[in-house]
Structure 1
Amino acid sequence: MDPVTDLDARFGDPSARPTPWPETLRVLEEAELYWLATVRKDGRPHVTPLIGVVHDDAVHFCTGVGEQKARNLDRNPQVTVTTGTNTWASGLDVVVEGTAVRVTDRPSLQTLADAYLDKYGEAWRFEVGDGAFGTSDDPAAVFRIAPATAFAFAKEPHGQTRYRFPAR
């Protein structure tokens, strides 16, 4: 189901039009790098770059189970993921807000491992273990972020589009 789409005229050029969701989804799918924001135990933000894949309109990422972001997600699964061009006058920046949910079933993990391989090549070939990527003593937890709200920040002309997604 497509999200409800609104253009916020307060934050853009009068000639701006809403960015269609398929265009925003394409930017998410093609991004090489994402920035993930989680919340630490004491409420401070934690932001880190990572790789990821988009599957079934959701952003997926993995992290070692002992890493800071995994520990943060154990306490608070609310996250923000960003990607884009890091330029002022061209491209499209995207922000996705949602809840990170751990993926543990083998078929889904295999699909995502294949997606990482397709996108990033051999450098990011993951073995599927028991509820995680990897079969060693240091597995990587895999998370799915289904968007609750997303934003596209267009630059030609400047315009801010908000997408609201029905509860899944």
Structure 2
Amino acid sequence: MPTREPTSTTNLDIYDDPPLPWSRAHDRLKVDLVEMSTPVFLGTTRPDGRPHSAGIGALWLDDDLYITSGPGTRKSRNLAANPFCTLSMRLQGIDLILEGEAARVTDPETLTNVARAYSEGGWPADVAADALTAPYSAPSAGPPPWHVHRITVHTAFGVATTEPYGATRWRFS
């Protein structure tokens, strides 16, 4: 996830509101994705081209965005075949859609940090080999172990739901 400024910003607002600053979305990601109750939906593409969407628990950690999923789930199989995806979420004051690419994370240090952050957020995750495990997870996650994916965001769209209003697209290199 980009901590830098976007390489381009496009105002999509039709009511003459100024473009939203990226910092508004970025700041909400840091706060709202700590709570597992924030609704986040992962959009992927099946091998035959049909869309797939699933509610997930996304994690914001050290300015990166992470998701978990069992290797046998439809979303994991889709990401293995085509890593491009979307994440749609309702954050406080802004609806956000992120378009990017998922890459599986297996390095022990990152897995340990992700497990610790999930545990601090209320999901008691632990590292198990090159994935995570816990006493429970969402039924849509499939059985453990759960793979961890880091999402690299290329484009983000924000629509403010509180003042100041606006709609903006941000692109990142």
Which residues of 2 match residues 65-144 of structure 1 at below 5 A?
Answer: 65-84=71-90, 91-118=93-120, 120-121=121-122, 124-134=123-133, 138-144=144-150
What do residues 82-121 of structure 1 show as CA deviations (whole Å, max 9, x unaligned)? 1015xxxx92100111000001011001111111122x32
* Unaligned stretches of 5+ residues in structure 1: none
Residues of 2 paired with 1:42 and 1:161: CA distance? 32
Instruction: Mark the CA change 1:135 to 1:160 in structure 2 (over 3 Å): closer, same or farther.
Output: closer
What SS does the corresponding residue of 1:151 show, helix, strand or coil?
A: strand
Which SS does the other structure have where 1:108 is aligned? helix
Match of 2:25 in 1: 24
CA RMSD of aligned residues (A): 2.1
User: How far is the alpha carbon of 1:151 from its aligned partner?
Assistant: 1.1
Contact 2:125 2:134 in 1 (8 A): no
Say yes or no: does 1:150 pair with 2:156: yes
In 1, are the aligned partners of 2:11 and 2:18 still within 8 Å (CA)?
Answer: no
The one-letter code sitting in structure 2 at the alignment partner of 1:125 is P
1:162 aligns with 2:169: yes
Q: Give the distance between the partners of 1:138 and 1:117, measured in 2 at CA.
A: 16
Question: What's the secondary structure of 1:54's corresponding residue?
Answer: strand
| Alignment gaps of 5+ in structure 2 | 136-142
Name the CA distance, whole Å, in 2 between partners of 1:57 and 1:18: 22
Q: How many residues align?
A: 157
Which residue does the alignment assign to 1:54? 60
Distance 1:93 1:8 in 2: 15
- Identity level (%): 36
Alpha-carbon offset, residue 66 of structure 1: 0.7
Q: Check conservation: 1:5, 1:161, Cα contact below 8 A.
A: no
- Normalising by the residue count of structure 1, what TM-score does the alignment of the two structures yield? 0.84
